[in-house]
Structure 1
């Protein structure tokens, strides 16, 4: 934690620490969507278990969107 009045040091290039371009192992949009789809499935089960109907529904829509994105990307790569 920083004290009030103190600023965080920047890297030599002036880029922000933790910038999304600096994250190790980032595999691009397809990998991100696959990861999101995986995590949403887990969260959706949790919402269902606790009878959180609106969250369950919204997470289901998110999962469908992620799956559709992956399906379309796969279809384009096969063409």
Structure 2
């Protein structure tokens, strides 16, 4: 049983609760956003195939947000 106010990490998630430090070998925020965009695209296609309209829409918005984040990060690095 967990104590109130404490969050439990899922088993095997590899995420340390309460820590914002990156794991060794982690590619950082840019790599995470690229991964999210890629996975979201696959999930969006699955939702569309099964006519899950609201999920399809929300995953599309998530994908747009991830793509925009990557675009802005790339633009900042070029300047």
TM range (shorter): 0.7 to 0.9
Q: TM-score, normalised by structure 1?
A: 0.72
1:27 maps to 2:27:
yes
Structure exhibiting the larger radius of gyration computed from Cα positions: 1
Q: CA RMSD in A?
A: 1.9
Aligned residues: 64
* DSSP-derived class of the 2:62 partner: helix
**In 1: Cα distance, 2:40 partner to 2:46 partner:** 10
Q: 1:48 maps to which residue?
A: 48
**Superposition misfits of 4+ residues, deviation over 6 angstroms:** none
Distance 1:70 1:30 in 2: 7
TM-score (norm 2): 0.72
How far apart are 1:25 and its partner, in Å? Answer: 2.7
Following the alignment from structure 1 to structure 2, what is the Cα–Cα distance between the partners of residues 22 and 66? Answer: 19
Q: Secondary structure at the match of 1:73?
A: helix
